[in-house]
Amino acid sequence: MAQVCEVCGKKPLVGNNVSHANKKTKRRFMPNIQKIRVQTDSGVRRMRVCTSCIQANKVQRPVM
């Protein structure tokens, strides 16, 4: 499944691993995606949201 935040659209970035000998190999920087329950207009549903959106209160968690 795609590593994309459903709120902000954050997705993996591409960069290089650089060795001590300055050799470069490709690597991916993955966002910290969590599956959480979110309160929406249509009810409670599960969403894949990055931790920066959770911490910034961009999603409303359901009240138990």
**64 residues of the chain, pLDDT tens digit each:** 689 999 999 999 999 999 999 999 999 999 999 999 999 999 999 999 999 999 999 999 998 7
- Rounded to the nearest 10 degrees, how much is the dihedral formed by the CA atoms of 44, 2, 15, 29? 40
User: Do the beta carbons of residue 10 and residue 4 sit within 8 Å?
Assistant: yes
pLDDT given for residue 52 in this prediction: 96
CATH architecture of 1-64: Roll (2.30)
pLDDT given for residue 63 in this prediction: 86
pLDDT given for residue 20 in this prediction: 98
User: The whole model's pTM is what?
Assistant: 0.83
